[in-house]
Amino acid sequence: MTTAQPSPNRVNVTQSPRSATEAEAIRLAQAGDASAFEHLYQLHSRRVYALCLRMVGNPSDAEDLMQEAFLQLFRKIGTFRGESAFSTWLHRMTVNVVLMRLRKKTLPAASLEETTEPDEETGGPRKDIGAPDLRLSGAVDRVNLERSIEKLPPGYRTVFVLHDVQGFEHNEIAGIMGCSVGNSKSQLHKARTRLRELLQEDLRDQARSERHAAKTQAGLGD
């Protein structure tokens, strides 16, 4: 009897997932088991969608890209050899799908060929431009942060999401995006700098709105 296959046009999410471990599901999916592939979809679709949404900033586009990423997974799962975590392998594939879409749309992206420039004040190398930035960690409103991330140029946004949100190391990002480790660190530094600027602009706008509201309220009270 021929094993049923998922639709080539869209991933089927109506079946109940198998009660199997991820490793078992991968092995069965590689053998053509559709319900095992469905189980992998159920396990990873939420995080893949979140990654797509952060990179493109549009829910409809993110949904389409998630489906495209899982179609790629269906076609290529036989090539997974377990040399890295399955989630890491899947996320790399997802990033490549999103980057391909962004290139097709010819969106203005920051260059990944920029080198790490010396510090303007000291003349020496910039310090720890790829290190965690505590000023962006838990210190701002989540909604404002999400909105500011969406405003970043695609090149900056991709590196920021991969490193600070998804937790990839710079050497992994370099492999995904086809750039050097130094370029990845430079892009992250510039993304964080731009994010701080955007967040400060939001704070100023919010303060102006509050002052305007207070003046309006005072006028109504006269």
Q: What is the CATH number of the domain that holds 59?
A: 1.10.1740.10
- Is 67 part of a structural domain of the chain? yes
| pLDDT surpasses 70 at 114 | no
In a domain, 140, yes or no: yes
What's the pTM?
0.56
How far apart are alpha carbons 221 and 67 in whole angstroms? 55
Structural domain containing residue 33: 22-104
Asked if 145 and 205 sit in the same domain, the reply is: yes
CATH of the domain at 215: 1.10.10.10
Residue pLDDT, tens place only, 127-181 = 444 444 544 444 446 667 777 888 888 888 888 888 887 778 888 888 777 788 9
Q: Are 56 and 89 in contact (CB under 8 A)?
A: no
Query: Are the C-beta atoms of 36 and 25 separated by less than 8 Å?
Result: yes
Q: Rounded CA gap, 189 and 183, in Å?
A: 10
Structural domain ending residue among the three candidates 55, 86, 104:
104
Instruction: Kindly state whether residues 33 and 82 are assigned to the same domain.
Output: yes
Model pLDDT for residues 35-63, shown as the tens digit of each residue: 999 999 999 999 999 888 888 878 899 99
DSSP annotation of 84 reads S
Task: Print burial letters for 14-30: b (CB count within 10 Å at least 16), e (below 16).
Answer: eeebbebeeeebbebbe
3-state secondary structure of 57: coil
Other CB atoms within 10 A of residue 150 CB: 15
